[in-house]
Amino acid sequence: MAVGPRDSSKTPRWAGNATFALLPRLDEVAHADIVVVGVPFDSGVSYRPGARFGPNHVRESSRLLRPYNQVAQVSPFADLQVADAGDIAANPFSIDEAVREIEARADELGADGTRLMTIGGDHTIALPLLRSVVKKHGPVAVVHFDAHLDTWDTYFGAPITHGTPFRRASEEGLIDRTASLHVGIRGPLYGRKDLEDDSRLGFAIIGAHEVERAGLASAIARMHARLGDAPVYVSVDIDVLDPAHAPGTGTPEAGGLTSRELLEFLRALRVHRIVGADIVEVSPAYDHAQLTGIAAAHVAYELITSMVPFE
């Protein structure tokens, strides 16, 4: 039987260590089906820093999560053993070294089939996480929720930053180019070539404006059709949400999804085989009243729920 969250009727939610959703630590369980792990790294950002403090902020913001998901009608922490694995320590002065460290630790945590729900950190971390996942599952369908494409080539000559992970992943053969997509893209680009390059790299796009114009149900249907039967890796940049819902992020863009829309997308993913996921770019210095942290905590909760086998 799975060891569940700390009993909040015996210990107040605001007391004690802030593991994600008050879950047990990894060293307190014999085995974990899913581990929640932080990566406090933001050396790849191109604008506002601070996402290195994201994992602890999201954990603090998750204290009010409860064990029964009323929409999915499952208790994810009872159906699967979920534990908090703490943080992956990554070199803050060398992106190359940090990427190697993240990949190596992800390999260790996932060695026995455990799936990772990773809290960043900036979006650079998606690249080593994908490198690790692909060793076990082969190329994966990436569904990427973000305001930005993150398929640019370089920044100041640097090939690995938070704006380039999915270009590198595509070039390395980590993604299924017939089944991957971005959701929530919006805002100005550098030029038309950004979209042309993105398509060539294997991504379809459901823009934020398309969710508004065609409706959420239509967008979700398009997502299902694109993903098909491929194993799925889900990467969520919190700036996919409108700044009204998630101000605490490094590169905010107007016109984003609502929290309710994003959670519905994630709930719909339960019919797919999710092999790993991340939530990134929470920067608490710009947050107010835990708006962003709470949104990110619920994103992680819904992603964990969507990893529970669908019956």
The class level of CATH for 20-306 reads alpha beta
Higher pLDDT, 9 or 138: 138
DSSP 195: H
b/e code 20-41 from CB counts within 10 Å (16+ = b): bbbbbebeebeebbbbbbbbbb
pLDDT on residue 311: 62
What are the pLDDT digits (tens) for 27-45?
A: 999 999 999 999 999 999 9
- Residue boundaries of the structural domains of the chain: 20-306
Residue 9's pLDDT is what? 76
Q: What is the pLDDT of residue 6?
A: 80
| Model pLDDT for residues 257-291, shown as the tens digit of each residue | 999 999 999 999 999 999 999 999 999 999 999 99
Q: Is the dihedral of CA 164, 99, 49, 15 positive or negative?
A: positive
**pLDDT value of residue 64:** 95
**Cα first-last separation, the chain:** 19
What average pLDDT does range 301-307 have in this prediction?
98
On the question of pLDDT at 82 being above 70, the answer is yes
Handedness of CA 201, 102, 89, 248 (dihedral sign): positive
Indicate if the pLDDT at residue 13 is higher than 90: no
Give how far Cα 63 sits from Cα of 16, 20, 21, 129, 158, Å: 10, 7, 5, 26, 38
d(CA 246, CA 224): 26
Prediction pTM value: 0.97
For the chain, give the mean pLDDT.
Answer: 96
pLDDT over 90 at 61, yes or no: yes
pLDDT confidence tier of residue 70, bands split at 50, 70 and 90: very high
pLDDT band with cut points at 50, 70 and 90 for residue 12: confident
* The pLDDT of residue 136: 95
3-state secondary structure of 143: strand
Over residues 71-82, mean pLDDT? 96
